[in-house]
Amino acid sequence: MEQKYRQVFIEVFGVLESALNDDFSKDNVKEWDSVHQLNIVALLEEAFDIMFEPEDIMGFTSYKAGKEILGKYGVEI
């Protein structure tokens, strides 16, 4: 599960896996904009066969927050 999660961020941002940690967020990654955020959400919904609630989509502002949000949907990272 964690590898699927990491792969989405690697694909969306074009970063190395080593760049991904709990500090990877919209506050620290200048490329993180609304388009990237929606791409992350769409790819995660597809990868884990889930549908995020609107408030969770808005709260998806960091690598760490994403793991917590996925936990609400039964996906443990």
The pTM score is 0.93
**Residue 65 forms part of a structural domain:** yes
Into how many domains does the chain fold? 1
What pLDDT sits at residue 2? 94
**Residue 57 forms part of a structural domain:** yes
Distance separating alpha carbons of residues 20 and 35, to the nearest angstrom = 19
Q: Determine the structural domain holding residue 45 and report its residue range.
A: 2-14+25-72
The owner of tokens 């999660």 is 5
What pLDDT sits at residue 64? 97
Closest C-alpha to 32, from 65, 61, 71, 72 = 61
15-27 tens-digit pLDDT: 999 999 999 999 9
**Residue 43 forms part of a structural domain:** yes
8 A C-beta contact, residue 50 and residue 76:
no
